[in-house]
Chain A
Amino acid sequence: MNFILDYYNYWIVVFLMMSGFYIVISANNLVKKIVGLNIFQTSVFMLYISMGKVSGGSAPIVAEGITQYSNPLPHVLILTAIVVGVATTAVGLSLVVRIKRAYGTVEENEFENKDDAI
């Protein structure tokens, strides 16, 4: 039982990561692929934050009467990673828009054999 309590967080994170991965490699639509990429990314964030948690700890903002704080370092790394993540998502989506304009479709199997029209 203790074993499960120690690791369930990581296992669910792996499950989410694999769901995102499955969407990325099996989806035919590019927008859905980007959603899958975001799901994958969020699960990585969750892995980092899980590692930073100290049980019985509190949020790393100094307040009276609190002795145990969680680790602030993963929080900093992930905070900036989220903003960079949305930036890359935006670039990816604008590529999707350009593909739609060039080929008239965003389904992978419909444009993969066409000539380079961009």
Chain B
Amino acid sequence: MPSLGTSFGRGGATDFQQDLQNSDCIVIMGSNMAENHPVGFQWVMEARERGAKVIHVDPRFTRTSAMATKHVGIRAGSDIAFLGGVINYILQNNLHFAEYVEHYTNAPVIIDEEFADTEELDGLFSGWDPEQGEYDVQTWMYEGMEVHGAAGQREEGFDPTKGEQSGHGGGGSGLHHGEPPAEDPTLQHPRCVFQILKRHYQRYTPDFVAETCGCSVDDFVEVAEALVQNSGRDRTSAFCYAVGWTQHTVGVQMIRAAAIVQQLLGNMGRPGGGIVALRGHASIQGSTDIPTLYNILPGYLPMPHTEDYGGLDGYIAANTSPTGWWGHFDAYFVSLMKAYFGEHASADNDWLFESLPRIDDDNSAYFTVQQMLEGNVKGYIIAGENPAVGHANGKAHRLGLAKLDWLVVRDVVEIESAAFWYDSPEVESGELKPEEIATEIFFMPAAAHTEKDGSFTNTQRLLQWHWQAVDPKEDCRSELWFYFHLGRLIKQKLEESEDERDKLIKALRWEYPTHSAIREPDAESVLQEVSGWEIGSGKFLSGYKELKADGSTACGCWIYSGCFKEGINQTARKKPHWEQDTYVAPEWAWAWPDNRRLLYNRASADPDGNPWSERKRFVWWDAEQGEWTGLDQPDFDQQKPPDYVPPEDAEAEDAIAGDHPFIMQADGRSWLYVPQGLEDGPLPTHYEPHESPFDNPLYSQRANPRRQQNKDLAEDPYNPVANEPGSDVYPYVVTTYRLTEHHTAGGMTRSVPYLAELQPAMFCEVHPDLAREVGLEHGGWATIYTSRSAIEARVMVTDRVRPLRMKDGRTVHQVGLPYHWGKRGLITGDSANDLAHMALDPNVHIQEVKAFTCGIRPGRRPRGPELPKFVAELREQAHSRREQDPRVEPEELRKTSS
């Protein structure tokens, strides 16, 4: 999460779930926690029972709202307007936690005088390049901070622009011993971050919020007040979010907005505070820490790009921050290369850096699908994912798969992505015919979690080991087995090859002990490599501080370093919580980094190192002992005193002052304003969703100018928007979501009898007014359609999805769609994602399925060939009208004018 990464330094939830019980106010927004994280929600209920306010801000009244002390319904996609309103409310009324903001955030920092705000440029920040459709971030910098790297912003701050997690706040190269060149502690300077913030949000008044979000002024003020009254020295508030924020074309900025609120209120790094990112998969945090993502290497080290760095040094330099913990980038990278290539990687051959594959700006999943459709991708391996149902615009994915030469699908059941060639809407409609599909398909039965050893990293960065209970049956195998033996086979077959191309794979260290009849690789030996050792002695590393850049240490993921310290699998620690002294339970499993459970916890003490209050004491400076101590592992150099001032020549962590808690940041502070690391602006700004029935009330710039679109992709047409002619064909806002009873694309739940019966059919949730408007009957059928496709669903007429009255007196109706269904399984139904488009957030390339537009009518959808016809007719109808009077997006206008 570059949002959290750029703001605080690490792309992970800042708090742990159990700590929510200490919150005085919990705002759940962009999340349906009670339904999708029911067991984690027990900690919210604990807080509620202790008298905490629980506020749910969401387009729908869900099982979470039912448990909240306050629910505010807002229009899907208007979250930044709401949070911006909170920020403005705090600033206008001077309600921020002054001492915290001055010392721990970059509020006092003065910004380059070239910087121009959206308020000045009608919805664009300075540096917009209409040709490229990108920002040049030079003008966003701290005043007097030189920017280097020919390729501009990409090279700054850990390749912020290239993928969800890479946006670590390592930026700020050239900071003078960790201190920004120019700041104003009084926060009065017109160009200091604090004042810029004030100006940027001055128009986000309660009335504006009400008109834009469709809630009442009172409800908004009640929420803002609740947050303010429950923050400060003696009280803390927490935010919980999930993909309800992430899955927007401004998803990253939504999270950023919450980050700003929490900084102004001084809730970061403190018990019962922070921002809890609620992840939806068992190891989705792990799969970004140890990425199966194109743009990063383990530990958020950026993949090298397709340009000439001038050798390893160039790459290191471009990614090293002189100050803060990113100062040791070289050690992290070299240790990874040693783990990957062992003795083959040496100082003389630059640790094989030049042989590493290079990436382009975007090689993400949606890019790959487009490449499939264009026939550029020949082979594809799918392991535990179901794009045919789970990805936006399922049809495009299915058509793409049909263009492959070969496809490997690994799963426990035969999912839609394996069966698309004979059982899919396209086969039904005749758009795909099995006898015409050239794709060779291997379905490989997978082993379940009960049939293998391994570790999951949960939503709070906790690595938890699970032991194998039984042997996998017949052909079922773990991914560990599949990829290990696949690699072994390939290396075997290429043993003799002299081809330069095969140098790297031949150099790959690939020896792992195996056990049992099927020769299952030993998972712990892999974890040992991840944790790292000292080459030669073979001594296990105790943490990333021991990593060396001289090739004397090997470590597969620097932030996980120490998870096998002393040769003990730290992730397998299962000491019961009742046998531990504190609720922090540090001896249960292992958290990155360095087993710290509450990140930035130095901030739980005031600048002098004393707890802000007795009630909220967590980590503090023990003067006698001369060290930081408390309930948790201090997220700070343990011996660095609060009054430490870095010497002139200080580097890396030594350049971080004793009263700057955010040790991953170049300046040791949290960033209210992000000078670099984000594609679409240093501050969150309200933009309408890519598809929305409304214009932007603030600017002529309607949607995020930097959002990724596929304008030329026939398979991904967009609905006319706002007041465009033709937009009335798709007049309603649709939002997709999960239900407690099912899991994502349904492969793991539609196959389970006990779960299938609990939510047995696809349905849509609509308000009685909408039902009346279009003639839907409760319990009947509805057909929902967009430019992409049409699906059918049973109708649930309920007040829980409320229509919202907007500024212009228009009423906007919202349609709720769970997205769990597909054509396979014990229960089947149409897939909501077939309706969605593939316009993406520019930072993380995530699709906008939480807010787009649709039409809805009573009755079941057309069958067979009639379906695509039905969709096409409506699309033509809408688009032809648009063509007569084409609307040009402002960013386009600017292009032509320049």
Decide whether A and B are members of one complex: no
